[in-house]
């Protein structure tokens, strides 16, 4: 978790890099009153948070502003909007996207958790733009649980699942509709190429654990202690409607159908 001092430095660095002219590593070190080695660590952190960091021909760094006339909020307005947004589910990627815009468009300090979630918010923003423009994109460094690989995927995104946990997209290489977990996408790269397979796009609604339908469903009935139920609900909040407390056995019973048994097996073990 980032401490408050580091958060402040990162926010200062973002603003500094958005201002002309472009900045050398030496200038950044002087601005932050730190070493050049530490500057590179901050630059890596900005990339991890989803900011587009560029270098010019003179090896000077800068961040391009995506909107030349952004909406600005006062601290009071931003605080009010933040409180409204935070009433949504804590796992919502859309919430993270809105929060990042509120923070970047105001004087309101950004807390560590939301800075770390900025990458996901930016990914949702870019995927939404691709859907509106009907443009193919590259999911950079996607981490797949099924294949246990990290690779780039060229896809045509056409929708989000509940709470913006995953994106539904048609994958060109496999010629299949799939769902991709937002958390496991490194970044989004635009291709400039228009959709070519719209007639093949089909909704792929995942189960409560995030697994897409692969031709078979598995019925599950699992007895959980209070601790197990809370742990599962915290990690997979969509299970809550499928759990009922049975006082006779003092257990919480999960009963539903899933597309994959891996998460259930992990809890059993």
Q: pTM for this structure?
A: 0.49
pLDDT tens string 172-219: 999 998 888 888 898 999 999 999 999 999 877 778 887 777 778 899
Which of 35-39, 74-78, 129-133, 251-255 shows the lowest per-residue confidence on average (mean pLDDT)?
74-78
User: Nearest 5°: phi and psi at 220?
Assistant: -130, 135
Q: Rg (Cα) of the chain, in Å, rounded? A: 21
pLDDT at 29 over 50: yes
The DSSP result for 37-80, as a single string, is HHHHHHHHHHHHTT--EEE-TTS-EEE--S-SS-----HHHHHH
Q: Which residues face 16 on adjacent strands? A: none
Residue reference for tokens 């918010």: 121
Q: Which CATH number fits domain 4-63: 3.40.50.2300, 1.10.3720.10, 1.10.645.10, 1.10.10.10?
A: 1.10.10.10
Tokens (6 digits) for 184: 């496991």
CATH assignment, 129-200: 2.30.30
- Name the band, by pLDDT with cuts 50, 70 and 90, for residue 148: confident
């Amino acid at each position: 978790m980032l401490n408050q001092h580091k958060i402040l430095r990162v926010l200062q660095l973002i603003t500094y890099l958005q201002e002309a002219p472009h900045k050398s590593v030496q200038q950044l070190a002087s601005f932050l009153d730190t070493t050049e080695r530490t500057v590179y660590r901050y630059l890596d952190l900005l990339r991890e948070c989803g900011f587009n960091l560029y270098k010019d021909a003179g090896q000077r760094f800068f961040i391009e502003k995506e909107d030349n006339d952004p909406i600005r909020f006062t601290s009071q307005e931003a605080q009010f909007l933040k409180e409204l947004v935070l009433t949504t589910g804590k796992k919502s990627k859309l919430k993270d996207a809105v929060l990042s815009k509120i923070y970047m468009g105001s004087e309101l300090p950004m807390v560590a958790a939301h800075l770390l979630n900025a990458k996901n918010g930016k990914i949702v923003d870019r995927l939404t733009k691709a859907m509106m423009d009907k443009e193919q994109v590259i999911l950079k460094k996607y981490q797949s649980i099924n294949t246990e690989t990290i690779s780039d995927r060229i896809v045509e995104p056409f929708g989000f699942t509940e709470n913006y946990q995953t994106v539904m997209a048609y994958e060109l290489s496999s010629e299949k509709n799939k769902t991709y977990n937002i958390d496991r996408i490194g970044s989004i790269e635009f291709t400039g190429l228009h959709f070519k397979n719209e007639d093949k796009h089909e909704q792929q609604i995942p189960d409560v654990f995030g697994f897409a339908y692969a031709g078979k469903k598995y019925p599950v009935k699992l007895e959980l202690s209070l601790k197990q139920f809370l742990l599962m609900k915290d990690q997979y909040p969509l299970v809550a409607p499928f759990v009922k407390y049975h006082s006779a056995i003092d257990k919480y019973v999960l009963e539903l159908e899933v597309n994959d048994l891996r998460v259930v097996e992990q809890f059993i073990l």
